[in-house]
Structure 1
């Protein structure tokens, strides 16, 4: 089914967006992570063979190393002589650790190639998110750059549907922001639209955010559903610090 991508560029310029079509939401090899988009800083760069490039290479290698294969969230820093490099990854709350690690490995490879010489970058896959910067962003709500993806199919009764969507998504965000002890800041929730149709919602924050900051981030990303997906059958908005998604079909794994 056709999808559209809406994204604010890394340079924070109000009302400046670019729109492109995503030809497919699936990969030819189902075992491969599904790339969504990335943003690379164009105004914050570093020269080739600089100390920061060496530190960044070490950082990305650390994020994708075997030492991180048993976790779905990890952050680290490298200060080897240049500016300190900060990086983290987070995987979607329902994916296996094996899928998570594979996604992180692919993300570091793609950023190394596509965001060459950028001091800041974020990359989103369906299964994971990874970012790095030369300034610390740990435990901080970051809402830009943002990415919106939508299902181009329209809802028959958009006004009532959007009311149900916002109610259900806010309930999902409440659950994600205050999880049980030891649980992820991740939640899913369903709502019945009719006897044969169900709404599926997902919300997630990076675990380093406080409950209050997580909920504040999710409030912003939920508010952007109007910007992205008003009256559409499915969509998502992704920030560096949190994300939400909804569909009319199950797109996440439900715990047994």
Structure 2
């Protein structure tokens, strides 16, 4: 796998290119997307904070059959805060996703007091600073398919229209309720249907959720203008659109057979691009 990385001095932007295939939704897939470790806030190996982090991650990993869970560990040093959130349409794979996340972060971020990891099925975050009920729009990550559409201007107008309606629906529930919505609109062209998803962490107020989603939708112009698919990941919310069905149509899907690995429709062999903006 060939990787290219570029960093600009004014603000950090990392570009990572690789060839990949995407999975359609199944009850088996666990798709890692990206993680970020804080380099500004660290602890000493084998310290009290390391033990407290292990306690927190164990607590998160032990909670099953729930789509959002937060916990706080008051240790001998800093207090440590953490939560996980499942993708709103699929609770069946979330627990294993959270377990994977709690195993990955200590390995990837061995001495970081703050870290976050995104999977397709879940999000997990911890910090020595309280972040509950607070909108966080950085660091931000974007993932796009480099295949272009034939009529980018009209296509993106359709995407923004659907994404904003989806965001409105996702932001409606009150604090503590799942803030998730997906929308499908057919007939963008004779052969294309657009699928959109929006989600916030449920600890946000409806207005904070909608504000967060507005920022993520705006970043689609930065990352994904005219592309066949794209997503923007914030710590507090995320949005995604594709030309193929990537989410379940109901919240309780039937178990599926062994997952089929298929290339992204219309872009076989094209690279996907990750962008990270701090």
Q: Distance in 1 between matches of 2:195 and 2:5?
A: 21
Match of 1:53 among 50, 55, 58: 50
Q: Distance in 2 between matches of 1:224 and 1:26?
A: 22
Match of 1:19 among 7, 15, 21: 15
Matched with 2:103 is 109
Q: Distance in 1 between matches of 2:176 and 2:200?
A: 14
Q: Note the alpha carbon deviations across 1:87-120, whole angstroms, 9 max, x for none.
A: 0000101113x41000000001000100100010
8 Å Cα contact 1:8-1:145 kept in structure 2: no
Matched with 1:177 is 171
**C-alpha deviation, 1:162, in angstroms:** 0.8
Is 1:33 matched with 2:5? Answer: no
Match of 1:153 among 139, 142, 147: 147
Q: Distance in 1 between matches of 2:5 and 2:193?
A: 25
8 Å Cα contact 1:6-1:228 kept in structure 2: no
Unmatched segments (≥5 aa) in structure 2: 253-278
**C-alpha deviation, 1:6, in angstroms:** 9.9
* Higher-helix-fraction structure: 1
Matched with 1:141 is 135
Q: Note the alpha carbon deviations across 1:157-198, whole angstroms, 9 max, x for none.
A: 101111111111000000000038985200011222023211
Matched with 2:258 is none
Q: Distance in 2 between matches of 1:53 and 1:166?
A: 43
Instruction: Give the aligned CA root-mean-square deviation in angstroms.
Output: 2.4
8 Å Cα contact 1:172-1:203 kept in structure 2: yes
**C-alpha deviation, 1:226, in angstroms:** 0.8
Q: Give the number of aligned pairs.
A: 246
Which is bigger in relative contact order (C-alpha 8 A, separation at least 6)?
A: 2
Is 1:73 matched with 2:68? Answer: yes
Matched with 1:246 is 241
Matched with 1:43 is 40
TM-score, with structure 1 as normaliser? 0.90
8 Å Cα contact 2:175-2:206 kept in structure 1: no
Unmatched segments (≥5 aa) in structure 1: none
